Amino acid sequence: MKYPAALLCFVLGAAAPAAFAGGFSVAPLGAELGAKTKAASFTVTNGGKEPLSFQVAVRKWTQDAQGNDAFEENTKDLVVFPRQFEVPAGGKRIVRVGIEGAPPANEAAYRVFIEELPPPLSASQGRKGTVAVVGRFALPVFIVPTGAKSKLAIDSVTAKGGTYSVKLSNGGASRVRMASVAAGAKDTEAPLTNPYLLAGTSREVSGPLGAACKPGAKVKVVATADGGQKAEKELVLPPDACRN
Q: How far apart are CA 18 and CA 226, in angstroms?
A: 20
Q: What is the reported pTM? A: 0.82
- Tell me, what's the pLDDT at 12? 39
3-state secondary structure of 6: helix
Q: How far apart are CA 194 and CA 222, in angstroms?
A: 17
Strands 218-225 vs 176-182: parallel, antiparallel or unpaired: antiparallel
Boundaries of every domain in the chain: 24-119+134-143, 152-237
Q: Are 235 and 222 in contact (CB under 8 A)?
A: no
Q: Output DSSP code: residue 70.
A: E
Domain 24-119+134-143 bears CATH identifier 1.10.10.10: no
Beta bridge partners of 219: 235
At CA 168, angle to CA 105 and CA 173, rounded to 5?
A: 10
- For 152-189, what is each residue's pLDDT tens digit? 999 999 999 999 999 999 999 999 999 999 998 889 99
Same topology for domains 24-119+134-143 and 152-237, yes or no?
A: yes
- For 184-206, what is each residue's pLDDT tens digit? 888 999 999 999 999 999 999 99
CATH number of 152-237: 2.60.40.1150
Beta bridge partners of 181: 223
